[in-house]
Amino acid sequence: MPKIIGLTGGIGSGKTTIANYLVSLGFPVYIADDAGRKVMQETCVIDAIKEKFGAEIFEDNVLNRAKLAKIVFDDPEQLKILNAIVHPAVKNDFNNWLEQHLESSLVFYESAILFESGSYKNFDTIITVVAPLEMRIARVLERDNATREQVLNRIKAQWTDEQRISKSDFVIENLNIDYSTQKIDEILKILSIS
C-alpha cells in the first residue's frame, strides 16, 4: 500500500504547479478539482444538485458552473450543501483511482479544501503550499475569468494558511518555481526514508 500524501493550499497558492512537478517525476497525483468536475457529470450527482439548487443553474442539461459558484461562494451554508453532494462521490472516485496505483510507494492527493472536507484524516502526511495574498489573487485573476471580489470570496470560503499550517507536516512557500521544486525534492527525500 502506498503512502498517501495530501497536497493542499488556498486558491492561487501554486499547488497545481507542485502537483505538475510531482507528475513530471513520475508520481501519481490525484487532482480533486478535476475529479469534482468529472463526478458532477454523473446522473446521481446532477439529480442531487438540481434538487438542492434548482434546474435553472443548468443550460441544455449542462451545469453552469459560474452560476453555481456564485450561489455557493456567497453563502457558506449553500457551499456545505454542495460539498455534502460532491465529496462522497469524489471519495469513491479516489478509492477507485488508488486501486490502480497500489504499486507506487507514494501517491499524492491535491485539493484546496483538504481540511474543510475532512479528507485529510485519511492521509499519512500533509504538505501545505502557501504564497502571499496579493500573489495568490494575481495568479487567480490571470488564470480565471473572475473579479477580485470573487477571488476574495473564494479565499474567505477556505481555511486560512495559519489553520492549514497548524495541521500540516510540511509547508512550501511557493514564491518561485526553483525554490518550490527544491523544497519538494527535500520533502521527497524525507518521505522516502521514513
- Higher-confidence residue of 194 and 179: namely 179
**Residues 78, 72 contacting (CB under 8 angstroms):** yes
CA dihedral 27, 95, 92, 144 (to 10 degrees): -10
User: 94-113, pLDDT tens digit by residue?
Assistant: 999 999 999 999 999 999 98
Angle, CA 112 vertex, CA 109 and CA 113 arms, to 5°: 95
Span 159-167, average pLDDT: 96
Q: Which residues pair with 58 in a beta bridge?
A: 63
Is 54 within any annotated ligand binding site? no
Is 128 within any annotated ligand binding site? no
Is 14 within any annotated ligand binding site? yes
26 Rama sector, left if φ>0, alpha if ψ -120 to 50, beta otherwise: left
Cα–Cα distances in angstroms (integers) from residue 136 to residues 65, 72, 110, in the given order: 21, 21, 17
Span 164-168, average pLDDT: 97
Q: DSSP assignment of 122-156, as one string? A: G-SEEEEEE--HHHHHHHHHHHSS--HHHHHHHHH
User: 46-79, pLDDT tens digit by residue?
Assistant: 999 999 999 999 988 788 988 898 898 888 899 8
Half-sphere exposure of 99 (CA within 13 A, CB side): 6
**Domain ranges across the chain:** 3-193
Cell of 160: 486560512
Please give the backbone phi and psi of residue 174, each rounded to the nearest 5 degrees, phi first. Answer: -90, 75
**Global pTM value:** 0.89
**What's domain 3-193's architecture?**
3-Layer(aba) Sandwich (3.40)
Angle, CA 182 vertex, CA 181 and CA 186 arms, to 5°: 115
Is 10 within any annotated ligand binding site? no
Average pLDDT of the residues of the chain: 92
Is 15 within any annotated ligand binding site? yes
- If pLDDT is split at 50, 70 and 90, which confidence band does 6 have? very high
Is 181 within any annotated ligand binding site? no
